[in-house]
Chains A and B, each alone.
Chain A
């Protein structure tokens, strides 16, 4: 498998990571090498094997509908990169999705 197999620029967009062209090339080569290694998995007979869904199988772990204290708003907003009064301020959104 060559590095051409992973379209780094496309994946970076999905992951919201800006990459320079040099990075696209460098990561492409490095991840290609990893995928070469990962190819060994094709040798495993997994046709009838169930994918591990949980390491320690448990079911029905839930909580009761009982309130717990919330965080103090000032503490929360002080950590915000930008705030406007009681709100988090974020840059303008283009389109329905960002």
Chain B
């Protein structure tokens, strides 16, 4: 996208900070359950409530998940990592300090690759990923819209306090809203595939802040940035970015200066508003947490974790595009659904026809999955069955109507399409002489329609083909039926353009 302010080409520079709740059974520093939607203040204990005398003990799985997340993007895992205290006061902070990581994050560097919907490849470097604990959740009472401004008091639920949180910080490599969404989608499908997180923005297991500034193309210094918060879906991230670009561009065009501030996205209003905060910048007084030991990784440990990653979604996505020739959108749909991708790979390998396989999978089978609420992998269909179906249709053994019927049957009852077709004689009839007999039957019974066709209403061909299909109980090869119908109907005339 090109942005021009006062005739000068500008570019948008964005970095994204994501907070991702990890999919562990328990919290980061205590054994309380890590679940969304529980009754308020029921998953709390002395540790996550910050009661006097309580002490933190870190969750090994949470640490491994962060390392895996980093390894998935080629990050470096430093041999030494520790936890630090970030000191500040807030009512949802049980200890009035957050256990986090300041200068020794669990992972450093890495690159997140992505593809835009039009196929363009891009990437964004990661600065770091570190591990910290989440805060409680406050709701603000007494204000018109539940926001802090105008509220009379707040209510706090500490179920979320202490949930392990992974903070992924990107370099400011992102240039457009589409790139931002593609970046987030890569993060999401990777974390879901690795079992690191469910990544559901609507449940709060992914929160992201966007840092955005504008500068003239070719400039090396950054413009003043604003931080945008409070987006609750990828769509609202895109909308918020567009809104902020427009806002900043407007200010610069009018000769104004951008104020460095935090702005909250208002979904209903469709714009951002400044979030009030104290004038003083926070002095977090970071120091190493004396209650916790450092984490040290042996190189063999890191190797083991790297090898346990399996095929990553992005690599899979690239393979679908490069090797199988799938479209970007098809490839993304598969990459977003691990079970579906695995199903596809198995079926495509057996069928040898990736495009046909994916068409059935993302078409009829996915439709059935939506309608029945059953995932494809749990239905009666197996990858082998899909491969057989592809072979049967590709070879012309069955027609599309038979294929549709078969899909419904196998989805429900399982089984092998090839065997069913053989056992029930469902192969389509393509033999010209057999079809000719049907054609003559139908034409004889539909003299008016024949007259309409010859008078120029060529669309009635569809009706006639349908009649042949019906008469053959669905087994006629529709392409051959149409050919033979035309041959007879038009046979009395020289070959001519079909009008209409």
Contacts and interface: CB of A to CB of B under 8 A. Distances in A.
Q: Do chains A and B touch in the complex (CB under 8 A)?
A: yes
Given A63-B59, A93-B154, A77 B41 contact: yes
B155 A88 contact: yes
Given A59-B295, A71-B49, A98-B90, A89 B153 contact: yes
B31 A86 contact: no
B90 A60 contact: no
Contacts of B381: none
A43 interface: no
A92 B42 contact: no
B485 interface: no
Interface string A3-14: 000000000011
Contact of A53 (B157, B280, B294): B294
B9 interface: no
A89 B138 CA distance: 10
Given A63-B60, A71-B49, A97 B88 contact: yes
Contact of A88 (B33, B41, B62): B41
A18 to B, nearest CB: 13
Contacts of B288: 53
A37 interface: no
A70 B43 contact: yes
Interface in B69-105: 82, 88-91
Interface string B274-290: 01111010110100101
Contacts of B158: 88
A67 B31 contact: yes
A69 to B, nearest CB: 8
B39 to A, nearest CB: 7
A52 B265 CA distance: 45
A65 B292 CA distance: 17
Contact of A65 (B42, B46, B61): B61
A54 B63 CA distance: 20
A68 B45 contact: yes
B26 A65 contact: yes
A96 B40 contact: no
Nearest to B87: A14
B154 A61 contact: no
A87 B105 CA distance: 34
14 contacts: A54-B294, A65-B62, A67-B31, A67-B33, A70-B33, A73-B39, A73-B41, A84-B141, A89-B154, A90-B138, A90-B155, A90-B156, A92-B140, A94-B148
Given A53-B294, A62-B63, 19 more contacts: A59-B294, A59-B295, A60-B293, A60-B295, A62-B58, A62-B295, A68-B31, A73-B44, A76-B41, A84-B141, A87-B156, A89-B155, A90-B154, A92-B140, A92-B151, A93-B140, A96-B262, A98-B90, A98-B91
